């Protein structure tokens, strides 16, 4: 999701909030740097989107009313043992489940 760079008014509010005391000229000089930083986030997001794995489609069910007397919201899902995931490949310390 792209992030819109803040305008002069937003930068002025940040300056006032943190007591930076920046003048309008100072804020104008920082605006291109802020816009460049924000656009770099969009570039990183775009690169990730090119290689991001898709989430596996898993069947899920809601618990029966008898199994959920407090009405808490949760679902259960089964995971295939053939699927390699971080939880299956991460080293665990002795005694941890």
Categorize the per-residue pLDDT at 92 as very low, low, confident or very high, splitting at 50, 70 and 90: low
- By the 8 A CB rule, do 1 and 45 touch? yes
- By the 8 A CB rule, do 11 and 21 touch? no
What angle in degrees, to the nearest 10, is found between the helix axes of 8-17 and 24-51? 110
Annotated domain spans of the chain:
8-51, 60-89
Over 90: is that where the pLDDT of 13 sits? yes
The per-residue pLDDT for range 66-89, each reduced to its tens digit, is 888 888 877 777 766 665 666 555
Average pLDDT over residues 43-56: 89
Q: Which residues, 6+ apart, have CB-to-CB distance to 61 below 8 Å?
A: 75, 76
Does the pTM surpass 0.85? The reply is: no
The per-residue pLDDT for range 23-41, each reduced to its tens digit, is 999 999 999 999 999 889 8
SS3 category, 10: helix
């Amino acid at each position: 999701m792209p992030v819109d760079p803040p305008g002069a008014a937003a930068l002025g509010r940040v300056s006032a909030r943190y007591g930076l005391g920046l003048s309008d000229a100072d804020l104008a000089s920082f605006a291109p740097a802020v816009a460049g930083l924000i656009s770099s986030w969009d570039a990183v997001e775009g690169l990730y989107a090119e290689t991001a794995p898709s989430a596996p489609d898993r069947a899920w069910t809601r618990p029966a009313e008898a199994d959920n007397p407090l009405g808490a919201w949760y679902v259960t899902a089964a995971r295939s043992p053939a699927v390699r995931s971080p939880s299956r490949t991460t080293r665990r310390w002795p005694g941890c489940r």
